[in-house]
Amino acid sequence: MSSLLDMSQAPPPADCITVMEKDGEMKSLPIGLEPPLSPIDNYPVVSVSKDLSRVSSQRENVKSAFIPTERTVWQRALHAWYDQGFSGLFEEIVNSKDEVPGSAAKVATGVLSVLRTVNSLSVSLFPHLSLSNEELVIKFAEVADWLNSPVRAFAWHPHTTKFALALQDDSVHVNTVGSSLVPILKHKQQKYVAHLAWQPLSASVLAVACQTCVLIWHVEPMSLAARPSASSVQVLQQPGHSPVTHLAWDPTGKLLLSASPTDTAIMAWSVPTESCTPLRRFGGGGISLLSWSPEGSKVMSATPSPVFRVWETQKWNCEVWSQLSGRCTAACWSYDGQVLLFSMEGDPVLHAIKFGTQHALLSGSTSTGTSDISGVSTAVMVADLSDVTLTSEDGEGVRVGGLVRQMVWSKTSERLAVLFEGPDGQISSLVAIFKTTVHPVVQILPSGFVRGYSGEVPHHIAFQPSFDKGALLSVVWSSGRVAYIPMYFVAEEQIGTFQFQHSSLNGHGGRQLYTGLT
Amino acid sequence: MDSVVYWYKTEVYFWRSAGSLFWSILCLPPLTVIYVFLCNLSLLHPLSGFSGFLSEVLSVSFILLLGLITAVLIAVACTATFTVVPEVAETRLQSFLGLLRWSRLLHALVCVLGGSCVAWCSTHFMGDRFSGLTSTVVTSGQELLALNESHLFVVLSGATAGLFHYASFHLQHQNYLAFPTLQRDKYFRVRGGMVEYIGQCCRLMWLQIRIFYLFYWLLGGTYRAWVIELLNLHTVWNTQPLDTIFGLLDISLLWQTALCSLFIMYTWGMAAILYRVYHTQHLAFLDLSHLSQQSASRRQEVFSLSQPGGHPHTWRAVCSACLQQVEALTSSVHTANLATLASVPLQHPAEKIFTTAGCEAVPSASVPQTPAKPVPLKTKLYSALKDKPVLSYFLMELPDAKSRQLFAACQIQIWAIEALSHLAAASYTEDKYGVVQQTLTPIFTSLVSLQDHVEKHFKLQPTAVRRSNRDPPPQPHDLLRQQLRVTLKTAVYRLTNKFGRHFGDLQLSGDCMKRLRPFMDYKE
């Protein structure tokens, strides 16, 4: 099977940027002619400058401003031990291998790996357990190139035009449409921010995944404070559950799941009571990805090994999907939670699993078998995205496709955006957009590409959940610019209601005309 | 209501208690075998330790002792009392006094006696040094009956372990049936609970060992003398007495004592965990809240019409039961708010006028003061004691204890609110006959009014003390009121999300609309 991308329209030329989708086509404009930074009604203009996103060095805090920095590695290790216990101590030694004798570094690496293994209670040694916290976050964070990206995490509010982004200095900025006030959230435990998530059915609650904990901020929309006080923050912490790299809220806003690549348990938090229930299944070595289906009946959790699980959310049983070609790198659910789309490491192909309706799920859940969540035993390959060289509109060859780094599906499941990673680990400079249908069968057709300014590489993509004129894709570029690409179309679920209104209007009008004539 | 209680007592309560007890008894033999194995573990002679373990487990006496341990477990489990409404003590003194309540004394007695009984059983597993209260000692050709102090030590430690189990059971609210956030299968809940309990148990054991060692070091000699006197034994001074520092620095003694305490606390705690898991499954309101969220087919039954007549009896019953709960809570919160407002010391109005007018020349003393009411002696004494440094620790009112008391039983209301909002939101697409539509207005009105009252209540509370990392984490039930607050907010958001465009048709009062406005704009 040849790559699906062969069929797509030619990528925009290098001196153009993509601005929107209209009439079913992606539209690009030459640089210089593009509309002002924010083409959508007063959406916040965000461009994180490099000096704002100062690279925070290892484990620095306020104290380091006063203590001379020529501390020996052992002093720093002592400090790390005081801060984070034994694993912090060994991690500090592993991080500064060059400054300690080789044997000591080896011992520390070994001990760190053993500590982590014991922590995750895993039976076999997983290679990722020997990585340091930072390496773990770089590998499993949602943002591509987490270490160098000016924006380290990004999240849209589920109901309003508002988003939060985390910068390299570990601060979180909250941008709201029509408001110039940008609250900046800072907390001393807010380090290595890997993921952000807004609580559904709430205006103010934001969960931040940090190195050692999950922080719950209450960003009051009516408050005029530019720096909300850190005293109202809830700290959700569990021993052995670090670094936290993924979060997922229950669509009803009741539960928050958090996951760490070193912990085999998903923590299910009841945020107001700050109590957590570990959902532990052995095997896999940790959790690298979480995705809650939009209607709330299922949760997908991937592991750093070629295994992932799908949980049903009534009794919290799970089924295991194994024999993958690599670990699952990206996954997303259709709007009705009936189709799971996923990609694997080392395989440029999208697979889909079709799940039964919720009714079938309920009748099945009483018999305790864990394998009847989906009712199917194999995933279907739905698209081949292997890399191809396309000729752009100005006749230049552009290489697109490859392994999937990130993949997002719009709210109505009619547009799919994919961020690629080439075989050499380089992120592709084009974001591919696909048109999709879910029923009766999953269909994926190429629609076009999104290109930024020359030299810009996309680091994070997301659809705004509350956009109602089609779909709106936000792209965080490597320059720190947040671009909005609106895609105007009439969603399929709206077509039914439009037709109904249209025909009734016609009937009404006709009658009036008739009475007028008589 | 009485019939429901009767039905629950006979049909549900008994079988759930029996089920949990059955499983605790079933778990006891493997735990005992593990315990005996650890008892006989010897670093220097691993093989002889293992053979000792085998001969111990395979003997007849093992079965008899196991029977006795099981009997103690049943007695402890049967005398324990559980509650679904967390007990909120206003002062520290009150929470300690709670341990001495008449209804609990039987449990305390059973725990202490049971602890020493289990420890006595365990001395048989520990080897010759510990078994038997007396031992024959040959001194200068004479056979003398002497006291085996190690045995006495372990049995006393067992009794303290029982006492500690009792205290932690009540002080750390292990008797509180907290309903789980996730409805998982019993197996996973028990597995998770038992693994977590190992850590808690070790901490409790460590505390008990420290306190017991201190106790024995101070008072052990008196006890020993008393027992020797009572049994008319001989005092033999060829062994180190245990109430000295050197006597207590005995690794083998420490290991056996700690292990025995751990065994006692863990087996009893396990019974409590099983009890909690069995009793927090599927109750009426909890089940309603779950079906309203997760089961479309069961929601259909709620929205259905009864035949003949076509009346929505099911929905009306469900709705009125839930609204009744919500309104009861609203009125109690309202009363509490009024009480708080009344107790706030208001400045004298006359005084205020003078100061605002800037007439500083008028001395405030000239303003006629209302004569102070005579204060009862008890209150006087209480307030005098409250200022003493050590006593104040026990008598000082714990922060927001009143508020916690008010919301201690609000678990039912949380479920009712969740169920109501989910059902109403689902009715938008699933309610074929429009049975919910008529009741939407009262649902909105009562939820919004409760939300308003609860928010007012939290504003009247003094701001929460900032928690530092050193403080123990708050008990989950302490935060039940926070959960109520969040649930309410989410419920109102859920409804405004669904019905926001149709508010014009709902005939809501202007006041209610005003309060819903921020929810519509996601500004609350």
Kindly write down the DSSP assignment for every residue of A420-478, as one continuous string: EE-TTSPEEEEEEEEEEE-SSS-EEEEEEEE--STT--EEEEEE-TT--SEEEEEEEET
B522 close to A (CB below 8 A): yes
Is A314 an 8 Å CB contact of chain B? Answer: yes
* Shortest alpha-carbon distance between residue A133 and chain B (Å): 22
Is the previous residue joined to A243 through a cis bond, with omega within 30 degrees of 0? yes
The answer to whether the Cβ–Cβ distance between A275 and B296 falls below 8 Å is no
Using CB atoms, pick whichever of A202, A278, A358 lies closest to residue B192. Answer: A278
Q: Dump the DSSP string for B25-85.
A: HHHHHHHHHHHHHHHT--SS-HHHHHHHHHHHHTSHHHHHHHHHHHHHHHHHHHH---BSS
Length of chain A: 518
pLDDT of residue B210: 94
Would you call B296 and A273 a contact, using CB atoms and an 8 Å cutoff? no
| Interchain pair A315, B185: CB under 8 A | yes
Per-residue pLDDT at B353 exceeds 60 = no
**Mean of pLDDT values over B50-58:** 86
Q: Is B193 on the interface with A (CB under 8 A)?
A: no
Mean pLDDT of chain A: 82
pLDDT at A54 over 70: no
Per-residue pLDDT at B367: 44
Confidence grade of residue A293 (pLDDT, cut at 50, 70, 90): very high
What is the pLDDT, as a whole number, of residue A59? 46
pLDDT in tens, B308-347: 778 888 888 889 988 998 999 999 999 988 888 887 665 5
Beta pairing class for A289-292 and A298-302: antiparallel
The CA distance from B379 to A431, in Å, is 74
The confidence score (pLDDT) of residue B372 equals 54
pLDDT of A65 strictly over 60: no
Shortest Cα distance from B208 to chain A (angstroms)? 24
Cβ(A49)–Cβ(A470) under 8 Å? no
Q: Output the pLDDT for position B248.
A: 83
Find the mean pLDDT for residues B240-265.
Answer: 87
For residue A119, which phi and psi values (nearest 5 degrees)?
A: -60, -45
- Name which of B246, B108, B262, B243 is nearest B175 in CA terms: B108
**Pick from A227, A291, A292, A238: nearest CA to A265:** A238
- Find the closest chain B residue to A366 by CA distance: B185
B contacts of A368 (beta carbons < 8 Å) = 185
Closest in A202, A316, A359 to B490, CB measured: A202
CA distance A273 to chain B (A): 5
**Which pLDDT belongs to residue A407?**
95
Q: What is the pLDDT of residue B360?
A: 41
Interface check A157 vs B, CB under 8 A: yes
Local structure of residue B133 (DSSP, 8 states): S
Torsion sign over Cα B125, B129, B135, B141: positive
Which of A252, A268, A270 has the CB atom closest to B293's CB atom?
A252
- Is the model's pLDDT at A446 over the cut of 60? yes
Asked if A221 lies within 8 A of B294 by C-beta distance, the reply is no
pTM metric for this prediction:
0.80
State the smallest CA–CA distance between residue A254 and chain B in angstroms: 8
Tell me the chain B residues in contact with residue A156 when contact means C-beta distances shorter than 8 Å.
none
Q: What is the pLDDT at residue A361? A: 43
Q: Average pLDDT of A113-125? A: 64
> Mean pLDDT highest for which of A356-365, B39-48, B125-134, B444-453?
B444-453
Identify the closest residue of chain B to A267 by CA–CA distance: B182
Q: How many CB pairs under 8 A join A and B?
A: 93
Contacts of A48 (CB under 8 A, 6+ apart): A150, A151, A165, A167, A480, A481
How far is residue A324's CA from residue A351's CA, in Å, rounded to a whole number? 11
Q: If pLDDT is split at 50, 70 and 90, which confidence band does B362 have?
A: very low
Question: Which whole number is the average pLDDT over B505-522?
Answer: 86
Q: With contacts defined as CB-CB under 8 Å, which chain B residues touch A273?
A: 476, 479-480, 482-483
Question: CA B87 to CA A257: how far, in whole Å?
Answer: 30
Answer whether A272 sits within 8 Å of B486, measured CB to CB: yes
Examine the pLDDT at B189 and tell me if it is beyond 80. Answer: yes
A229–chain B Cβ distance below 8 A for any pair: no
Q: How far apart are CA B47 and CA B40, in angstroms?
A: 10
Question: Does B523 contact A203 at a Cβ distance shorter than 8 Å?
Answer: yes
Listed residue (B400, B345, B410, B353) closest to B372, CA to CA: B345
Report which DSSP code applies to A11.
Answer: P
Task: Answer yes or no: is pLDDT of B489 > 60.
Answer: yes
10 Å CB burial of residue B119 (0-12, 13-18, 19+) is buried
* Lowest mean pLDDT across A124-128, A485-489, B289-293, B349-353: B349-353
Q: Does A130 touch chain B (CB under 8 A)?
A: no
Residue A92 reports pLDDT greater than 80: no
DSSP B110-128: HHHHHHHHHHHHHHHHS-T
Among A80-89, A331-340, A435-444, B154-163, the minimum mean pLDDT is found in A80-89
| pLDDT (0 to 100) of residue B475 | 65
Most confident of A219-233, A335-349, B2-16, B391-405: A335-349
pLDDT band at A260 (very low <50, low <70, confident <90, very high): very high
The residue of A162, A264, A273 whose CB has the most chain B CBs within 10 angstroms, and thus the best one to mutate to test that interface, is A273
**Contact flag B474-A274 (C-beta cutoff 8 Å):** yes
Average pLDDT on A51-68 reads 50
Q: Do the chains contact at A255 and B182, CB–CB below 8 Å?
A: yes
In this predicted structure, the answer to whether residue A150 has a pLDDT above a threshold of 80 is: yes
Say yes or no for a CB contact (<8 Å) between B294 and A314. yes
Asked whether the predicted pLDDT for residue B187 surpasses 50, the reply is yes
Q: What average pLDDT does range A439-468 have in this prediction?
A: 91
**Distance from the B326 Cα atom to the nearest Cα atom in chain A, whole angstroms:** 19
The chain A residue lying nearest B521, using CA atoms, is A160
Instruction: Please state the rounded mean pLDDT for residues A386-407.
Output: 87
Q: Give the pLDDT score at A459.
A: 94
Which residue in B200, B487, B489, B521 has the most chain A C-beta atoms within 10 A of its own C-beta, making it the best mutation to test that interface? B489
ipTM of the complex, rounded to two decimals: 0.76
Of B180, B479, B522, the CB nearest to A272: B479
Report whether pLDDT(A203) > 50.
yes
Which residues, 6+ apart, have CB-to-CB distance to A281 below 8 Å?
A264, A309, A318, A320
Which residue has better confidence, A513 or A20? Answer: A20
Q: Find the mean pLDDT for residues B30-40.
A: 91
CB neighbours of residue A225 within 10 Å: 11
Query: Of the candidates B290, B297, B483, which has its C-beta nearest A272's C-beta?
Result: B483
Say whether A316 and B476 touch across the interface (CB within 8 A): no
In A, which residues are within 8 Å of B294 by CB distance? 297, 313-314, 362
Task: Please give the residue of chain A at the shortest CA–CA distance from B468.
Answer: A231
For A137-146, B225-234, B456-465, which range has the lowest pLDDT when averaged over its residues? Answer: B456-465
Contacts of B185 in chain A (CB under 8 A): 315-317, 368
Query: Are A270 and B483 a contacting pair at CB < 8 A?
Result: yes
Residue A280 near chain B (CB below 8 Å): yes
Contacts of A272 in chain B (CB under 8 A): 479, 482-483, 485-487
Q: pLDDT band at residue B355, thresholds of 50, 70 and 90?
A: very low
Q: What's the one-letter identity of residue A413? A: S
Q: How close B461 comes to chain A (CA, Å)?
A: 15
